[in-house]
Amino acid sequence: MKYNKEKREIISDKEISELDKFVLEFITILEKHIDYVIISGYISILLGRARATEDVDVFIKKISLEKFSEFYEDVKRAGFWCLNAEKTKEVFSYIEDGLAIRFAKQGQAIPNFEVKFPKRQIDEGTFEDFITVILSQGKIKISSLERQIAFKRYYLKSDKDIEDAVHIEELFKEDIDYDKINKLKQIVETIED
Amino acid sequence: MKRKFLKPGKNNKEDRINFIKFWVQYIKTHSDKEWSRQQNIVINSQIKS
């Protein structure tokens, strides 16, 4: 696994897991319609952490109902269903209200994709400094390593999140921008919710 | 290559962190194919069950 900091790319020759296949299938449809960046736990798994997960969190850029509807029809045709509602307007109303909507393969509940709009300014920044992970079977856009570490260490803070942060730090310690983590830390520590 | 050993932690939390650091060293010193084959046993068992 090689990280090119300047290009903001990680090249991995890993064997694709069933979870990676699920992610690649979903984002191949998603990116036809909406810009996205994957956040949270799946990133550390994609980068080698030996644990499982129920969901894959993703930010999508804010879009209209019409644009969302095109994506929703496409994803349903590909065999996914929304766990929160059936009707397009109802599903869209949830995400528009700042809530997350989940998609899984038909007949299954996990793994699922947890899709949401960025709420805060710091969330919007996820689209500015994302990294592309290049696998043998496709590309996946993930949030920057510094954002991952800052959110997990100073906002989420569960044992699992701290362990995810340690994994990423240990793996890329020569390339991580610790000043950036400290700046993000100051912001995430002010988040209330 | 000299084999690296895992230092047992004084409690569960420390032991888990020690293992994560040990596993990262394993990733760094083995091919992507080799470590991912092992990682996929953990991941795929959840998805297929």
Quote ipTM for the complex: 0.92
Q: Which fold would CATH assign to domain A2-144?
A: Beta Polymerase; domain 2 (3.30.460)
pLDDT, tens digit (0-9, with 9 covering 90-100), for A30-54: 999 999 999 989 999 999 999 999 9
A158 → chain B, closest CA residue: B13
Beta strand residue intervals within chain A, DSSP E: 2-4, 9-11, 36-39, 55-60, 80-82, 101-105, 112-116, 131-135, 138-142
Which two tokens mark B36? 């991912």
Interval A163-174: pLDDT, tens: 999 999 999 999
Instruction: State the pLDDT at residue B48.
Output: 64
Cβ of A163 and B17 within 8 Å?
yes
- Does the beta carbon of A66 lie under 8 angstroms from any beta carbon of chain B? no
Identity (one letter) of the amino acid at A142?
A: I
Q: Which residues of B touch A112 (CB under 8 A)?
A: none
How far apart CA A65 and CA A20 sit, in angstroms, is 29
A98: left (phi over 0), alpha (psi -120 to 50) or beta: left
Please classify residue A144 by burial: count the beta carbons closer than 10 Å to its beta carbon, then call 0-12 exposed, 13-18 middle and 19+ buried.
buried
pLDDT tens-digit series, residues A97-144: 999 999 999 999 999 999 999 999 999 999 999 999 999 999 999 999
Contacts of B42 in chain A (CB under 8 A): 50-52
pLDDT tens by residue, A123-135:
999 999 999 999 9
The rounded Cα A149 to chain-centroid distance in angstroms is: 14
